[in-house]
Each structure stands twice: as structure tokens, then as C-alpha cells.
Structure 1
Amino acid sequence: MRLLHTTTLDLHEFQGAPPPYAILSHTWGEEEVLFQDIGTPTSETKKGYGKIVKFCAQAKGASLDYAWVDTCCIDKRSSAELSEAINSMFRWYSKAHVCYAFLEDVDLRHNSGMRGSRWFTRGWTLQELLAPLHVVFFDQNWMEIGSKVGLLDELNAITGVPQSALACPATIHQYCVAERMFWAHQRETTRVEDIAYCLLGIFDVNMPLLYGEGKKAFRRLQLQIVSESGDHSIFAWNSPERRIVQRANPCDMLAESPACFTLRSIVQGPHKNNTRFQSMPKPEDVTITVSNVGLSMRLAIATLPHPPIRISKLKSVSKSLIAVLNCRREDRHIGIHVLHSTAYAGAWSRCQGREIVFLGDAMVRNLQSDLVIMTLGEPKASLLPYHRAVLQPMLDRDRLVHFADFTIAMSSSTSESICDNHTSLPPMVVVATHGSALMFTKTQKTAFILVFGMDHGRIWCAGFSCAVPSSLLEFAQSIWIKYHVGRETLPWRYYQDRQTHESDELNHLHVTIKPELVPTEHAGLISQYYRVDIC
């Protein structure tokens, strides 16, 4: 750990326990003094130099010989040193003799209050508020605003952090995951990855830094928390977009960012008494195991009535499947909407666009928990709301269908096509979920069927000479189930965008498929199209 000497402003390195030191909390501005600037004439010409001088003067006035500033005490040119520092930062702030929080946009001379300060919106300053026992706030002129203990009510109103957590840093890790995520839900960082890295100490986890991974950093953080804590409240989040999703599609079990943890209550207090999210009595097998398939965990699945939700053009359901989490909000259990996974047999997926639900004791009293697999990751490309196929036919079509969502086909009787699959159809545009099927017949008994679509963004196409099926839709769906969802080895030869098929019904059928991205009628939305040329 490197520390600045408060008199000479020289850097000193300590391998063991450091001497007492003050630590600075601030927001970065223009021309900060960096590690490589210390001891050079360049440092004194930078705008951030005055901040360091006055900070060290405050520390020296408190009889402290050393001080720490993140701008110049870390050599950020070394990725290894930066990673070690970020993983140690919560501990460094907690071990400091005092933390000075410098609010450069607050001016006491003009009655400028703390509430509007940028300091309260930044991700990194959350741990700098929570970790130290003693925090003293200063305005832009280094006039003292007050201490953390003396400003508990105001800090609670601004940050949403309970007074008990502010006053006693040792209790922070007793609050459940959802509660701590809520403290960060309105905070921002300059780099996407830092919204995860700035929370490492708050959740008492360590992980390597991988700048460039983007939003994956927050996923890694959640997986690390899950594997170490088993706290179900990490799944008690809502999508911040509040979109109305008309179809029951799968989504990720994990949240995209802390912004998803928006639930709060006026009830506050220590963990296990009356926190906003109280952990329910933990069963012996509360462990959550992370694998390449998903999360293996014990959940009770409840079936509840609700207003009908459309799951296809013709089908809707009037019941919800709710996975009851092992956590509470005040006196009610928390549940999330789930559906059967389309990726793995016997697994479950979280349901996209559905808010979490609150259940009374009577609704869950007779439920039994089972070991289940909850899938992770984004929905597969094939499960997007729709694809659109633009056909340029050179031959007469006898029948044309497109299939509905595979989830529906698995959970209910096979639905009929939006288009009547027993009628000759001439439309140029077909809306499809997984793909389309085109049948050519030469006699009443034999046919050539072309099945095509997109899977994970890849084009697939298959041709079959066979007897005329009783239902072209069911035939097409069976191909999808067999080759694209079933457990059989994927036939990679079908993932081709240029194919030639021969059959008794046709001499040669040349198929060319080209993916396109076309704006929809909804502003800002882009749909995935594929253009099929047949000759």
C-alpha cells in the first residue's frame, strides 16, 4: 500500500500494516494528479493538485503523517496493481483513521445543500461512504459540512441506506443481497465494468478485473455472490424498463445491472429482524450450484391464476407458474414468474417482462421445494418475438406455414398455423417465430417440403421428399424439435445459406437465404429478417 506523506507529499510504500492514515473520497475531475506525476514539476500545474494539498493539510491538522488518494497512490498503468487495489479498496477505506469526503459542487457560502451533489450518484463513492467508521464531509472550499454520524438522517434520505448500516460498518454484510443492491441502484460509473467492480467490497467477494468485458462483469459478480452466499434475494429484481411483454419468453435469471433492484420499504433495521428483504429460515440444503447449464437450487413452484397472457397468435394462458424464493419482503414471500426451459429438458427459465410477485403465507404453506435447474444467459436468438421471411417464389406453392413458439408446442397441444395449412397461399411476407415451411406437390400423395429459419442468428434449411403429411405445421415443428431442440447431435450440414435440392417433384430447387436487419413500425426497434430466393 502506498501512502502520501502529508508534509512532503512524497510517496511511501508499506508491505505490512501501514501507519495511521487519512483517506480521500471524491469524484474525479479534469487534470487529476496521477502516480507518474508525483515528484515532477508537472504535478503542481494540474488542477487536481490543490485538492491533494488541502486534503493533506487537513490530515496533518489531525496529527496524521500519511494520507491516501486513489488518483496518485495507485499505478494504474499496471493492470495487476489496479486489480489488487480495487479488490482491497473496501478494506483500505475501512481501516483508515478518518475519511474526508470532498464535495466539489457544494458551497456552504451559498447555502448549497448536499442532496444535489454528484458525489451521491457515483458508484465508487458508495463503498467510500459505507466502509469507514469516521467520515467527515467538506464543501468545495474545504469548509466542514459535518460528520457521517451527525448527518445520519440526511444521508439516509439521500442514499436510502439505513442509519444502522451508516453508523456501524460492521453490520453491512448482514444485510441481504437485494438490500445492498438497492443502495447502488441509482449510481453510475464511467466504465460499464466498474458498476460491478465498485461493489466487490460491499458484497465481500473478490474477482479479477477484465476491462473490456462490459456487462459481463456484473454477471460475474452475481455468480460469485450466488456461489458464496446462496442468498435468494439476488433474484428479487424487476426490469427497470417496465416494458409490456405480450409473449411468455424466457430471460436471464440474473439482473442486467443494480438498476433492476428498485424495491424498497419504509421498514428498515438489522438483518433477521425487519429488513426490507428478510432471509427466510435457511434449510440445510440452501446451497446454489453454478454450472454450464444454469443454477441448481431448491425452489417451490406454485401455480396461480392471473389475467390471460398471449403466448401465440391463437393461444393464451390464464395461469402463472411462480418460483417461490427463499426470501421475504416484510411479511410476504417473494416469487418470480417462470416457464419450462426450451434449452434443457426438465429445466426452468425466468419469464421475460414479468414483475416479481408477493405471496402470503397461505399461498405457499403447502408447497414443497424441489431441486431444479434455472437456466442462465440471454434468450436464444430462435426465441426472439418473431422473424420475418420475405419469399421470392419462382414456382407455384401448394402450402405455406410458419411455426409457433416451441415452448407452446411442448406445453400444450400443437397449435394450428396462423395461415391455414390446407389452403394454397400467395402472400409475399410471412411472420414466423422459428421458421417457415413450404410444400410443393406433384401428386396428391407425394411432396417436397422445404423447412427453413434462423437459430442463434444462423440460417438453417432442410429439404425432404416424403408423403404428403396430414399437417404441414406439425411436420415442420417435428423437424425443429428433432434437430434444433432435441438431444440429438446437431446436423451442421443444415446450417447453410445456399442449398440445392433434388426430388421427384422438382428437377432442381436452388435456395438462397440472406439475413437482413430492417426497422419495424415501432420506433427504435430493429427486427431480424431473412430473405429467401427460390428458383
Structure 2
Amino acid sequence: MQSCPTAGAPTKSLQEMQASSSSPTPSPSLISKLGCQKILKCSEIAASFGFEYIWIDTCCIDKTNNVELTEAINSMFNYYRDAEVCYAYLADVQSEENPGAEGSGFRRSSWFKRGWTLQELIAGTHCTREPGVLWVNWRDIGTKSSLEAVVAEITLISPTAIKNYEIYGEIFSISQKMAWASYRETERLEDLAYCLMGLLNVNMPLIYGEGDKAFKRLQLEILKESNDQSIFAWRAQSSKDTQLGRGLLAYHPAEFRDAHNIVNSLDRQSEFSMTNLGLKITLPFLNREMTESSNERRSPSKYIFIAVLGCYKGSKTHCYNVDSCGIYLQSVAGVYTRIYTDKIELVSEKLLQSSASNRTVCVPQTNAPRSVPSEPDSHCIHVFQRRPSPVSDIHTSNSANHNLVPWKLGNDEVKLKLGSQSLIFEEMYALLFLYGKPKAKCVIHVFVTNQELSYCISTSTWVGHLNKLRRGFFPDWCREKMTTCDRSSFVLRGGQVLHIAIRQGFVDGIRALYFEVSADGDFHLEKIFRQLLPS
């Protein structure tokens, strides 16, 4: 017998269980803890049905022992599959409601969102929950069979897989299984790969600290055992940087979110292998212009191909005259990379048979970009601030908050927070400064977008230049002279030195770039000109 604890109540470790077992009876304080209550109640239910043993992942694995942890995680799917019965405890489902009702707590349960619970759902056999107060009574709300329809609707998993994965698991493609996990989350990035090992029938060592490389290793292990080309039928979830070359492997399970209906084609497979030059594979190739749905022109198109995978969109295997899935590959100096990674091109069987030719290529695998915590589709605020004198760059993280001098426009003090919080924008500013005796003019032209800041300095200003700025017209040459250098100095007339520094920081929790200006002696802001550029 086996029990699967879920989110909603604290869990107990093996060490805590061993410490509490030294006493003949658990202490009242221990019994009052939610994690202990869950274990005791589940044991009571199991014993009432004649079971002698129970296995609970949180307290039956010594997580301080890496060998034992690796063995347990590699075997966990089999534990769930081979158990006489598997109980899932949904601690965040509180009421006596109908599980299938729209907006029910059952539909919203975190059990359907966690990575580790996917194998509990696929391999397990029984679902229970507590009715409200977990130490009163647990109420059986049904089995996978009785809740099959609503669970399939919540998870987008085929009812056939939910009902009997042991028998029918092989009919589902790699991409479909990845899709089942595409909306799930784990506390540690590596666990997004480790929790899928049993489902995908692979084993590999655990290396906590490797980050997203774990998902790459998982796919490489799959390639050793399977020739299912649907593993390459992923789509980047963001259209950003889709023209940058990538390898054939996905970065994250989320890139399979649109793969629920991509089926492996058993009658059109080819051998592929990982080499030191990349993934070597033979596929039917089409020139990009040959695809019927490709109307837009891309350059250089003669080096862009559509590689047709041995999989198609559908609901059944062994279908005929269906559209196969194709991905874009670009050849640059003989090196192939995947581009337009947010697209899967559908290729008709007629076009495939008449125009495709097989080609063997090696596609190097790229690493996932390092993830930096930020807001989704992060934007930037740009803050212009003045210092009385340059500061050391040794401590820059909080530099924006110290020793600042307010700008003055006439008799008014102003803090310049320029730019926009919209996701896509381009703006040009010109800041006119006066300095020295007699007063000389200096213009700092600044070009800002939602993510970047560039600038140029003009110490030679003339009447025509200033008149154009007043009317909102900026000279073309200033764009050509722009620099993004984050530290620079300029010698002004009379030997006065102007220092520029660009620093990263936050304003009210929003990512910001601080543009700092400092100069010795008299240097004050006279005017701000702004030009809004078309986006």
C-alpha cells in the first residue's frame, strides 16, 4: 500500500519520524502537527482495509543520503504502479462540493499543478480527501475511474492514459507525455526533469545544482531508447529571439504545451544519434518556398529548409494522408540550427512525397539562456540623476540612493524619471546643460527603449541645432554616434570633466536603469527636449 501526500499540509522527514519513534506513544504536540496527522490518518485508513505497510515519499526516503534519494526517485513511478492501492491526499479541497462542478476546489487543487504528482496520477489508483478538518474524518471522493472525465478535463491528459497507462502508455508519443507536464511546477528546477523519468521510462543520476541541464540530460537519455521524433516537435512559448539558432532539444517542458495532439508516426522513422558535432539525424528536407502555407519572404531563404519530422497532428496512430510536422532549419557555413522556434509547419503528404529529399545533418545543441528573475515581459524605467562628483564603482548595487543632487529647472526641483512602462516603446531625449563662465552649452542626447539606454554628448551646439530641438526634431547624426558604454568621461570647454555612469537597479519594484551625470564645478540643467519616435 502506498500514500501520496500533497500540497496543503506540512510534511515530515525520515529523521523526524525516527526521532518520534523513540517514544512508545507520540506526544500530543507531535500529533497536533498537520504532517503527522496526515501520516496517522492515512495509516489508520490503510490498516482498516487490512494493509500492513504504507510508503509515503516525504518520510520514507532519507533525503540526506544521495544514493538512497537517487534510487528512490528513479524507482518512484514503479512504487506507485506496483502498490495495491495509491491514496492521494488533497489537503486544499475543503468542502463537500461536487468535484466536477465549475470552479470547484477539486479543479483548483494544487495537486494538479505540481510536477511530482503527475506520476501519482498516472500510476496511482485511488483518490481521497479530507472534508474540512483533516483530523476529523477523511472522505473518499472517488477513484481515477469514477473521476476520469473531470480529471482529463483539468489536466488535458487522455482518459485512456488516466484509466490504464500500464497497458496503453506506449501509444502516446514523447511530445504528448511532455505536454502533460507542461503546466506543472516544481520547487527546484532540476525536478522538472527528475519527476518525468518514470513516465518516460528512463533512469539517470540526480545532480542537484545543474539547473536546466537536467532537462537536456533527460531528453538525451530518451534518445538512447526511443526513435520517436515528436520529441523535436516543441514550440518556443515566446516569439522573442526566435530567429536565433537553437538545437533540436527543448529547454523546458512548457515548450510542449501545444503538443497534446502530436502523434508519433511509426511507419516513417530514422536513426539518430548524439555526436560531438551535435545531434546527427536523417530527415526529409524541403526548401522553404515549397511549403504551401509560407507566404512571407525570409532572407536568405535559399539556406532555410523545413525538416519534416516523423510525427503529425492527430488523435490516432497509423493515419494516412495527414499533415506531418516540420521545423525550420537554417544552414550557415554548413552548420544547421533550428530557427523560427515558435512555429511548427504542417506539410501535406502530397508535398512530402513529391518534393522532399532526405538529408543527413548534424545540429549542435544550444544551452538554455540563464534565467534572470524579472517581471514577465520585463520593462525598464529610466532615471536620470545627478551626483556632485563621481563615485567609486566598487559598491554599485545601492549607489542610486546616496549623495544625489536634485535637478533644478528654474526655481523648481525635479527628479527625472523618463521613459515608459509600456512593453514596446522608443523615445529620444535631449538634456541641455549650461556650465562654466561664460556659460557654455552641452547637450546629452539619450535614446531609450523598454530595455536599453544609449547616449551621445554634443559640446558644440549652435542656434539652428537648439531651434530644431525646441520643435522636437533631432539630428540624424546623434543616432549614429550613440554609445551604450556604461562608464565614460568627456572633457568640456575650459577643462571641466563630465562623467557618465549607467547603473542597474529598481524603482518601486520595477527594473530600472539609472543614468548618472556628475561634473566638477558649475553644471546645471537648463532644458529638456523630447521626441517620441514611432514604434
- Is 2:250 the partner of 1:255? yes
Which residue in 2 is equivalent to 1:336? 327
Could you tell me which amino acid in structure 2 is paired with residue 37 of structure 1?
A: E
Instruction: Write the distance in 1 (CA, Å) between the matches of 2:158 and 2:273.
Output: 31
The equivalent position to 2:481 in structure 1, one of 421, 428, 434, is 428
Matched with 1:128 is 120
> Paired residue for 1:83?
70
Residue 109 (structure 1) shift: 2.5
1:55 lines up with 2:80 in the alignment: no
User: Is the Cα–Cα contact under 8 Å of residues 103 and 139 in structure 1 kept in the other structure?
Assistant: yes
RMSD: 3.4
What amino acid does structure 2 have at the position aligned with 1:278?
Answer: N
Secondary structure at the residue paired with 2:282?
Answer: strand
Return the alpha-carbon distance in structure 1 between the equivalents of residues 338 and 118 of structure 2. Answer: 30
CA deviations over 1:471-503 (Å, ceiling 9, x no partner): xxxxxxxxxxxxxxxxxxxxxxxxxxxxxxxxx
Is the 8 Å Cα contact of residues 23 and 69 (structure 1) preserved in structure 2? Answer: yes
Q: Which amino acid aligns with 2:231?
A: I
Partner of 1:38: 17
Structure 1 position 364 matched with structure 2 position 352: yes
Q: Does the 8 Å CA contact 2:92/2:109 hold for their aligned counterparts?
A: yes
Report the Cα distance in structure 2 between the residues aligned to 1:524 and 1:352, rounded to whole angstroms: 29
Matches within 5 A, 1:409-488: 427-429=480-482
Instruction: Report the AA paired with residue 292 of structure 1.
Output: N
> What secondary structure sits across from 1:76 in the alignment?
coil
Question: Displacement of 1:230 after TM fit?
Answer: 1.9
The one-letter code matched in structure 2 to 1:59 is: A
- Give the whole-Å Cα distance in 1 for the aligned partners of 2:183 and 2:171: 22
Q: Secondary structure at the match of 1:168?
A: helix
The separation in 2 between residues aligned to 1:38 and 1:248, in whole angstroms, is 53
- Report matched runs for 1:17-28 at 5 Å: 22-28=1-7
Shift of 1:33: 1.6
Structure 2 residue corresponding to 1:205, chosen from 196, 202, 206: 202
- Within 5 Å, give how 1:32-431 maps onto structure 2: 32-39=11-18, 40=20, 43-44=30-31, 46-110=33-97, 112-132=104-124, 134-140=125-131, 141-170=137-166, 171-241=168-238, 243=239, 245=241, 248-264=243-259, 276-283=262-269, 286-305=270-289, 306-308=294-296, 317=301, 320-330=304-314, 331-341=322-332, 345-366=333-354, 367-378=356-367, 427-429=480-482
Structure 1 residues 292, 390: closer, same or farther in 2, change over 3 A?
farther
* Partner Cα separation in structure 2 for residue 87 and residue 48 of structure 1: 25
Q: CA deviation at 1:239?
A: 0.9
One-letter amino acid of the counterpart of residue 83, structure 1: T
> Take 2:127 and 2:161, find their aligned partners in 1: how far apart are those partners?
17
Q: 1:319 to 1:297 in 2, by over 3 A?
A: closer
C-alpha deviation, 1:348, in angstroms: 1.0
* Alpha carbons of structure 1 residues 280 and 369: separation in structure 2 relative to 1, 3 Å: farther
- Aligned partner of residue 249 in structure 1, secondary structure: coil
Question: Per-residue deviation at 1:26?
Answer: 2.7
Question: Which residue number corresponds to residue 435 of structure 1?
Answer: none
* Paired positions, count: 366
Identify unmatched segments of 5+ residues in structure 1: 1-21, 266-274, 382-386, 393-423, 432-514, 527-535
Distance (whole Å) between structure 2 residues aligned to residue 182 and residue 380 of structure 1: 21
TM-score (norm 1): 0.62
Contact 2:282 2:358 in 1 (8 A): yes
What's the offset of the Cα at 1:227?
2.0
> Relative to structure 1, is the Cα distance of residues 370 and 131 closer, same or farther in structure 2, using a 3 angstrom cutoff?
same
Q: Is the 8 A contact 1:29 1:48 kept in 2?
A: no
Superposed displacement of residue 252, structure 1 = 3.0
Deviates more, 1:295-304 or 1:371-380: 371-380
TM-score, normalised with respect to structure 2? 0.62
> Could you give the per-residue CA deviations for residues 159-185 of structure 1, whole angstroms, max 9, x where no partner exists?
111111111121223311001011111
SS in structure 1 of the partner of residue 34 of structure 2: coil
Letter in 2 for 1:38: M
SS in 1 for 2:44: helix
How far off is 1:249 after superposition?
2.5
C-alpha distance in 2 between matches for 1:186 and 1:369? 35
Whether contact under 8 Å (1:252, 1:379) holds in the other structure is no
SS of match in other structure, 2:147: helix
Instruction: Report the CA distance between 1:379 and its aligned residue.
Output: 8.8
Q: Compute the displacement of 1:368 (Å).
A: 2.5
How many Å separate the matches in 2 of 1:89 and 1:76? 14
SS at match of 1:233: helix
**Secondary structure at the counterpart of residue 50 of structure 1:** helix
Q: Which runs of 5+ in 2 are unaligned?
A: 21-26, 99-103, 132-136, 315-321, 371-451, 458-476, 485-500, 514-535
SS in 2 for 1:75: coil
1:390 to partner: Cα distance: 9.2
Moved more, 370-379 or 98-107: 370-379
Q: Distance in 1 between matches of 2:328 and 2:268?
A: 22
Q: In the superposition, relative to structure 1, how do residues 75 and 208 fare at CA in structure 2: closer, same or farther (>3 Å)?
A: same
Aligned-residue sequence identity (percent) comes to: 34
> What is the CA-CA distance between 1:518 and the residue it aligns to?
7.9
Task: Give the Å deviation of 1:346.
Answer: 2.9
- The answer to whether the 8 Å contact 1:298/1:371 transfers is yes
Return the letter of the residue paired with 1:149: S
- The 1-side partners of 2:207 and 2:334 are apart by 34
Do the aligned partners of 2:193 and 2:215 also contact (CA within 8 Å) in 1?
yes
